[in-house]
Amino acid sequence: MKFFLDTAIVDEIREVNEWGLLSGVTTNPSLIAKSGRVFEDVLKEILSIVDGSVSAEVISREAKGMIEEGERLAAISDQVTIKVPMTIEGLKAVSHFSKKGIATNVTLIFSANQALMAARAGATYVSPFVGRLDDISHDGMQLVGQVAEMFRLHNISTEIIAASIRHPLHVIQAAMSGAHIATLPYKVMKQMVHHPLTDQGIERFEADWKKATRA
């Protein structure tokens, strides 16, 4: 399973990119708003940092508007993946982009049927939202497993991005459930690095080393 970062804060992207494990970035209108910056400016800066796919979401509700927005965004770089909501209009737009060779990420997936429809319309990625399902007492990770199994059975090449990830355990579960990618908030990415026994171990090694080299 690969790691994407789910943020529009460029300092976070710059920092994690240096760790050498980042395969892409996802943004959404809420994350762009939180960055306090102009959409296309922040998108261009993210693209200058990261090598892989960068998802940029369209705002229009109708396919025509989604296509206009998406084509404008896709013209910025081949790395741009157009993020489209899971609606009938969204499916029409995805089908259009797919025929033009433009990568898409169908977002706000909450059922296996939605994932299958998005894949058949030509989606490059589908994003089941794990945390938001958990929030309403549904097992979000079960959906990831179901979609993975469905895609495997039917030889579907659309990749699954486990999204709306809230904590490190979600990441392990996403990997074990067959997600190709997990898109993680910066906070979760940082939490995953640390373990108290690692920190303790480093301190003990350092103390022992100092003792030994003093003797």
Catalytically annotated residues: 83
Options 85-93, 128-136, 170-178, 195-203: segment touching ligand E4P (CB under 6 A) = 128-136
Least distance from ligand E4P to the Cβ atom of residue 127, Å: 5
CB atoms within 10 A of CB 67: 21
The amino acid occupying position 187 is: K
159 near ligand E4P, judged by CB under 6 A: no
Rounded to the nearest 10 degrees, the angle between the axes of helix 88-99 and helix 112-120 is: 30
Q: At 38, is the secondary structure helix, strand, or coil?
A: coil
Q: Among candidates 80, 140, 79, which has minimal Cα distance to 115?
A: 140
Pick 4 or 195: Cβ nearer ligand E4P: 4
- The token pair that represents 31 in the structure block: 């994350």
164 near ligand E4P, judged by CB under 6 A: yes
Is the CA virtual torsion 35, 38, 40, 44 positive or negative?
negative
Pick 173 or 183: Cβ nearer ligand E4P: 183
Which x/- pattern over 78-117 shows residues binding ligand E4P (rule: CB under 6 A)? Answer: -----------------------------x----------
Binding site for ligand E4P (CB under 6 A): 6, 26, 28, 107, 127, 129, 131-132, 163-164, 183
